[in-house]
Each structure stands twice: as C-alpha cells, then as structure tokens.
Amino acid sequence: MKLRRLIGFNLLTAVVLGIVGFYVGWRLGHLVKAPSLDYFGDTGQNDIALFVAYFTGVIGFLVGLGFANYPIQRILGKPPSLREKETEGIGRYFGLCTDHKVVGIQYLIGIGAFIFIGGLNAMLIRFELLRPTHLAWNGNNYLTLVSIHGTMMMGMMTSGILGPFANYFVPLMIGARRMAFPRIEALTFWLLMAAGAILMTALAFGGFPTGWTGYAPLSEQSNMGMDAYIAFFALVGVSMALLGLNMLATVITMRAPGLSWGRLPIFVWGTVTTSVLMLLAAPVLISTLFMLALDRTAQTSFFNVQAGGSPYLYENLFWMFGHPEVYVLALPGMGIVLELLPVFARKPLWGYRLAVTGMVGIMLLSFLVWQHHLFVSGINGDLRPFYMLSTELISLPTGFIFVCALGTLWAGRIRLTVPMLFALAWIFNFLVGGLSGVFLSDVPSDVTTHGSFFSMAHFHYTIMGGLIFAFFGAVYFWLPKMTGFELNERLGKVHFWVMFIAFNSTFGPLLVIGFLGMPRRVVTYAGYLQGANDWVSVSAFVLGASMLVFLANLIWSQVFVRTPAASNPWGSKSIEFQLPSPVPVHDFDRIPTFGPDPYPYGGVEEGGGYDGRRPAISPARPTA
C-alpha cells in the first residue's frame, strides 16, 4: 500500500516529469534559429531555450501532480478520479488535494522552506558586509545573493499569510466547507513551488544582478540567470492573481446565512482587501515581465533606449505592480494583528468599521502612490508634489489600524501569550516602519534616503517587522488548531524575545547607516561604517539563530512530543476555535449561522462569533 503511493500522480512523479519537461524544452528551444541568437552565439547564452524549458518543465510538473487528469477525463467522458478528494492519509500532502486545510498546511511548509532559503541568503549577505572591502563573495555572487534574497522573499511572502492561513481559516470563518475553486486553490500553491525551484536554477545559469526590481536595461544585459527571475516572478504573479480571484469569489459568494459584510472577522477583511490588490496588481507584473522576456528573446525594444524604448516604462510598470505589492505584504499582517488583539485583550475589536475603512483606504490609495519610488529619477518632476501627498495620505488609513489596535487594548485583560507578544511587537515595529516611511515620502528628505540602507531598513521594518512578526503570531495562534498538537510555549517565548531584540538591533542601526550615506546592494562600503555594519551583521546572525529556535520548537513539539491541543486553548470566540483540533475533514456537520458581532467579548452575547445556539459540530459525533 505504502509503496503503491509512490507511483501515480504525486510530487515524485511531478519532479520527474518536471525535469523531463525541462530537458525536452531545452532541446526544443535550441531548434529555434532566431537571428538574435547569432549575435550571442559564442557565449552559450540561449534565452529562448531556457524560457521554453521553464515552460515545459512547469507543464510537466503540473501534469505529474495530476492537474491534467480532471479536464482530460471530462473530455473523454469518463468519471473524474476522486483521488484529489481523498480524506485521509499523509499522501494527500504530497500531491494535488482540494481540501483547503491540506492546502493551507502545504503552503505553510512549502513557503516556509523557501523563506528559510531566503533568510539563509541574508546571512551570507551580512557575512560579506563584516568587512568594508571584499571578504567572501565576488561581485557577481554577492549581487546574486542579494537578488535571490529579495526576489524570493518578495515573491513567497505575497502568499505568506494568505496561503497558509487564509486558505485554511477563511472558509471556516465564513461558514463554508471549501474554497470557491478548490482545484485553483491547489494550483496556486504548486505554481509557487515550481516558481521557487525555478528561481534556484538561477544559480546554475550565472545568477542575476538586478535585485528584486529587475530594472531594465540592466536586466536586458544580464546573463541567463535573469530568465529565472522573469519566470519565477511571472509564475508568482499568476499564482497571486489566481489566489486573489479565488479568495474574492469565496468570500463574495460562499458566506453562511446571516454573515453580512459587517459581521466578517477582521482577518477576512484583510484577506479581501489583499485579494483585490493581488488580482489587480499581479497582471501588471506578468505583462511587464512578458515584455522584458520579449526584449531578451525576440528583439523587441520596450525598454531598449537605442531602439526607441524607455527604462522609465519598466520602472513605471514595475512600481505600478510593486507598490500595491508591498501592501499585499502589509494588509494580511494588519488583519492578523487585529484578529489576535481582541482574543488576548478579551475585548471586542475597537472601531471595527474604522479598521475596515482603513484597510479599504490602504487598498485604494496603494494604486496611486507608485512614483514615490521614482522621486529622483527625473520622471514627471512636476508630479512629485502629488505623489508626496498621496503617499502621506496613506498614513491616514494606516493610522486607523493603529488606533483600532490601541483602542482594543483599552481597559482589556491583556494576556501576554506568545501570539499576543508577536502582535504587540507588530505595533512597535510597524510604527518604526511607518515613521521611517515618512522620510522617504517627503521629497527633500528622500533625496538623501532614496536608494540607501535607510530605505532598505524601512521596508524591512514594515515587511519583516510587520508581516513576518504577524506571520509568527498567526503560527503560534493557529498551528495547534491546524495540526492538533501544541507548540512549546517556553521555546516560543525564547524565540520571540531573541527575534524581537535581534530584529531591532539589526534594522535600527541600518536606518542610521543609511542616513550616514551607505547605498543599498553594495559589496563595499566606507571604512568608518565598519563598526556599525559589524554590529548589524552580528545582530543579523542572532536573528537567524532565533529562526532555528522556532524550527527546533516546530520539530520538537509537532514530531516528537505531540501534546494534543485543546480545541480552544486561547478562549477565543471565533468559530474555528469552536471546532475540534485538528479541524475535521468535513469542517462542520451543518453550515453554522452567525450572530451580529464577530467579537462578542464582554459578556454581551452568549455563545461565539457564530450563533452558538446551533452548534456547528454535534458533540456526539466522533471527529478523528
């Protein structure tokens, strides 16, 4: 039985077919005798072959997972296989599975692994910066590390919270048994995995030097590693757009009876606003990268100056995606924090409508600010006051989130559990991130801070200090519900404190170093900055070590100790905590109905966030 599982449509087959597909594509690509190839004929560069290889490789990977089965069987008039609907067995996690809870856990592990690789890159970068001159990596390797770190993080973290937690909990929170498009849900995950593998192949093709922004014309000069970046980000874009579409369709159409928009938990609102951004911004990225790929292969000249193109076009298009993208990274964190604070302050969410307004406001404004990345680029010099205004306006809805978080703490009964610590740390870190953003939004100040370590520290405060802290809050909060086993609280606290202190000790000084004149993405720097940089590097290593504490906690508690988790360890009134741990395959026995307030703390209403008079799970029913 066990051995039989190895044969069929699963991850093993997918990897094999992926490699076969890659090889076939590589060979086919070499048959194309494009005139462009003659010029670079002696360099061994063949961008066309590589793009074809990535394409066929991904197709092979998806076929191996079984994504072709359903359409083919339907076309042939046969009954579709039920394999993707299996309800038990570890094998479900290694293939196409349409259970939203399986996909959530797949996301957590898969994305976690790639983020770990991205973090490892950061360690290697900080190692090089121990010395102001050359230490370990040559220029190309250093830039490749920087680029893969940035690209991996920005690509994977877009789904860092929506992937694991929204896929798992949004259907539960809205009283649905599945997502609107379960097969697309699985597809978004496996596309990300294929993308991550593709990005790693950049190492085999000479790396790429452009950072995560991929500015043309540098990206048009670069060697074949650049194609890995393009294929990676385009696949991430497809995955993002599909994820957003799926989430929106689910929340719009599948809410349980009585669950009007004003009754949704705030995390669902965070998911909805993020999904809108994903759905609208990701296509811009995909088309931009498509143009870049055409420039590199078919000799078009979208971004090629001497043939009439413009690098400004790339910068504009990239940031039209790129700025909504950074709010794709911010909004889910806000949703998590506002979801956790009521539970651990034992209060209803303070200013629910204000928080929703804040999220929607951020969502709308995020499309109107992108040229603040181009304040000194010389593009539209007279529009700078407008972008300064729109950028600073976005601090208003962000301020709503802050005031709702603070108001929720008011007169609460605060319990400093591990998830709560992460949520509170989010408030501090995002405050620093937001305030440093004010300098970057102000044109005169941006003249100095633009492109410096200051801006790098700023977005690490918002993305790592914001999103990653919220991510870990969510992990400690929800993982016992997802796996059914507790996490060790003592190790969790160690992890939190080491991470929080090391994080601030890493990125706080980087704000200063940037102010003192150190540009981003450099392999050498002024000698007088060595002391500060060494401090930062050592802090970064401690920060990296805190992740090992987490990893140890995860493996120790989930694999070896396996203390069964209570169904409601935090005393939450949200519906997912009224279900057993782990959540049974069918989610609910019957579709629950919901009361008027998602946060009925304070003894106003009996039961839970849903209408507790009609339990979603019959107590008598065995749930294992």
Partner 1 sequence: MWSSRSHGHRIAALTVIGTAIVLPLVVFVLGPNMPPGKGTPVASSQVTDNTVLLVVMTPFTVFILVYLAYALVAFRAAKGEGLIDGPPTRGHFKAQVAWLATTTAAVLFLAIFGTAELLADNGAGGGGGPNPVAKPSGAVLPVQVIGQQWEFTYRYPTYGGVETASLVLPAGREIAFHVTSLDAVHSFWAYELGVKADANPGVDNVAYVRTKKPSTFQIRCAELCGLWHGYMSDTGRVVSPAAFSTWIAARRRQFAPIMKYLPKYASSYAPDPSYRAG
Using rule CB under 8 A, residue 508 touches partner 1: no
Among 77, 378, 619, 622, contact with partner 1 (rule: CB under 8 A): 378
Q: Which is nearer to partner 1, 430 or 610 (CB)?
A: 430
Among 36, 81, 287, 445, contact with partner 1 (rule: CB under 8 A): 445
Residues linked to residue 564 through DSSP beta bridges, in sequence order: 485
Min CB(529)–partner 1 separation in Å: 11
Indicate if the alpha-carbon torsion angle 129, 130, 131, 134 is positive or negative.
negative
Across 179-212, b (16+ Cβ under 10 Å) vs e yields bbbbbbbbbbbbbbbbbbbbbebbeebbbbbbbb
Among 112, 206, 508, 615, contact with partner 1 (rule: CB under 8 A): 206
Cα 42 vs. chain centroid, distance in angstroms?
Answer: 40
Segment near partner 1 (CB under 8 A), from 97-105, 245-253, 387-395, 612-620? 387-395
Residue 140 and residue 223: Cα distance in Å, rounded?
Answer: 11
Among 21, 25, 237, 351, contact with partner 1 (rule: CB under 8 A): 351
Residue 175 and residue 181: Cα distance in Å, rounded?
Answer: 16
Among 349, 457, 543, 554, contact with partner 1 (rule: CB under 8 A): 349
- Binding residues for partner 1, how many (CB under 8 A)? 100
Segment near partner 1 (CB under 8 A), from 58-66, 217-225, 558-566, 607-615? 217-225
- Give me the phi and psi of 582, to 5 degrees please: -70, 165
Comparing CA positions, the residue from 361, 334, 364 lying closest to residue 349 is: 334
Using rule CB under 8 A, residue 101 touches partner 1: no
Q: Which is nearer to partner 1, 582 or 600 (CB)?
A: 600
Segment near partner 1 (CB under 8 A), from 52-60, 393-401, 534-542, 575-583? 393-401
Segment near partner 1 (CB under 8 A), from 69-77, 105-113, 245-253, 349-357? 349-357
Min CB(358)–partner 1 separation in Å: 11
Using rule CB under 8 A, residue 399 touches partner 1: yes
Residue appearing with tokens 């898969």: 110
Using rule CB under 8 A, residue 416 touches partner 1: yes
Indicate if the alpha-carbon torsion angle 269, 271, 275, 278 is positive or negative.
positive
Residues 6+ apart with CB under 8 A from 573: 343, 599, 600, 601, 607, 608, 609
Residues linked to residue 9 through DSSP beta bridges, in sequence order: none
Residue 146 and residue 419: Cα distance in Å, rounded?
Answer: 31
Number of residues written out for the chain: 624
Using rule CB under 8 A, residue 228 touches partner 1: no
Fill in the per-residue mask, 13 to 52: x = in contact with partner 1 (CB under 8 A), - = not in contact.
--------------------------xx--x---------
Among 8, 112, 217, 607, contact with partner 1 (rule: CB under 8 A): 217
Using rule CB under 8 A, residue 382 touches partner 1: yes
180 neighbors 246 (Cβ within 8 angstroms): yes
Site for partner 1 in 318-347 (CB under 8 A): 345-347
Min CB(161)–partner 1 separation in Å: 23
Using rule CB under 8 A, residue 569 touches partner 1: no
Residue appearing with tokens 């049974």: 584
461 burial type by CB count under 10 A (0-12 exposed, 13-18 middle, 19+ buried): buried
Among 442, 489, 534, 589, contact with partner 1 (rule: CB under 8 A): 442
Min CB(521)–partner 1 separation in Å: 5
